[in-house]
Structure 1
Amino acid sequence: MWPTVDRLAHLREVLAALAIALAHVHARLAWFLGAAVTVYTPVLKWRALPAEGGPTFGAVTPNSRQYTEAKDAIRRLQSALASITAA
């Protein structure tokens, strides 16, 4: 299993890639990617390191189930995009 910092960084990289892809497409694919970006936005409020008494600006530490669900959602998105491009 990856350390939490790496796991969160990977999830944020996926979100960044979706945002970039969304800027370059139109029509139905744009709607699809826009919905995916919306679903993944809670990742932006996650933090991997303890607060250590400092301000967190609303960031929360996700539990392992939330990380697992996010990774599963990415796999489902990858599968959906693969079947769209294969068509």
Structure 2
Amino acid sequence: MNLYIESLEGGNYLASTGVGASRALVRDKSSQPKTFHCLNEIREHFDTQSFEHVWLRQNTPYEEMVGQTDHPGALELEIEL
């Protein structure tokens, strides 16, 4: 199983687990998407689990705002958690 972390504007993160397109968003007690404020919060939340891969994805609209249209999409890289 993999962990997928999505970096949002404002220093917030969403996390999901799964493999490929089959992912489940991490939810809070009210079944709402759980928002994390830093990678350390995610690390603490999953401290008893291990993952084959941990992916961090960062969507940045700033390239479009400054006229750089040649960016292929979101930055996605594998990290250690």
Structure number having the greater helix percentage: 1
Normalising to structure 2: TM-score of the pair? 0.28
Structure number having the greater strand percentage: 2
Instruction: Decide which structure has the larger Cα Rg and report it.
Output: 1
